[in-house]
Amino acid sequence: MIKKRAVFPFTAIIGQEEMKLALLLNVIDPKIGGVIIMGDRGTGKSTTVRALTDLLPEIEVVAGDPFGSHPTDADLQSEEVRQRLMRGEHVAITSRQVTMVDLPLGATEDRVCGTIDIEKALSEGVKAFEPGLLAKANRGILYIDEVNLLDDHLVDVLLDSAASGWNTVEREGISIRHPARFVLVGSGNPEEGELRPQLLDRFGMYAEIRTVKKPELRVQIVEQRTDFDQNPQEFLSTCLDSQVELQAQIVRAQTLLSSVSISPEYRLNISQICADLDVDGLRGDIVTNRAAKAIAALEGHQEVTVDDIRRVIPLCLRHRLRKDPLESIDSGYKVQKTFNQVFGIVEE
């Protein structure tokens, strides 16, 4: 039996609360549209994403299916599994860890989307499909490090799949379609180039992270990492209770999400903020409403509060603001200021 590689625990990560919150909310409601994490090198972006994947509960999948099809949800099933179920066939079910797929910068479109073997299709009359990374990422997390260096065409393909939940491959008149529901997570360093505004807007959330400045916290982070590297299993055992507790909280939030409501007044206020900030389109309104419901579910209540909206709105809107080309993305100050004005909150 292959021994599973130890992953640094999510609950032990110090600081970077904004990034951790954005990731958790996208796991609770993948329809938020993913998150882009931008910040300094060596701030734990990749570590945090891997830690989240390790934290998530196992999911049920159809055994032997390359797309990780859901046993009962037709929207998360491949065509072959759906046909088998319609014929009344029995399909074996197994459990597996949520997958995290790393997208290499040099990946080709065929590697990402999959390829059709035309020769086999013509000679044998079958749709011979070689699944790509999108198939592997279905019902999991697709992670792109240095997303700002990825070819724009590939980013378009990924964002289209993430938005529709499906991947379609067409070649020589043959078309293959399979489910591709995943949480899209991109990370990068703004010094190495910004993403185009059109692409930025397609990501649901934008988390900004900075290097920890407090010497005490820096020492604590170094000590933790040293302890983990020296004896991973012992370190993991000290975090087991908090990991199990957070995992249970995520499961409860996923179950509760559909029953969370947001008052018409708050919905109107969110749209007022988007209008006052001159946000193009309605994606900002939609994502903020979804994120507010997700954080309410995470906190265990069925009614969205003003504080829920306050915590998520900078994440949802800061990358959608019109800005001077020479400015970097606003850290959220403009969004917070407008939020206070619309909700009638007096700044202290």
Spatial contact of 102 and 108, defined as CB atoms under 8 Å apart: no
Residue with the two structure tokens 């990924």: 158
* Measured CA distances, 111 to 131, 135, 169 (Å): 8, 10, 12
Who contacts 309 (Cβ-Cβ below 8 Å, separation ≥6)?
266, 269, 270, 288, 292, 339, 343
Burial environment of residue 299 by CB neighbours within 10 A (0 to 12, 13 to 18, 19 or more): middle
Rounded Cα distance, 163 and 177, in Å:
15
Does the annotation mark 210 as catalytic? no
Spatial CA neighbour of 266 closest among 298, 235, 291: 291
Spatial contact of 320 and 201, defined as CB atoms under 8 Å apart: yes
Burial 10-19 (b: 16+ CB within 10 A, else e): bbbbebbebb
Residue with the two structure tokens 């990731």: 23
Neighbour count for residue 139 (Cβ, 10 Å): 22
Residue with the two structure tokens 């993913």: 34
Residue with the two structure tokens 């590939």: 154
User: Token digits for 230?
Assistant: 């020296």
Check 283, 290, 311, 320 and give the catalytic one: 283
Rounded Cα distance, 310 and 25, in Å:
14
User: Phi and psi for 125 in degrees, rounded to 5?
Assistant: 70, 25
Residues known to be catalytic: 283
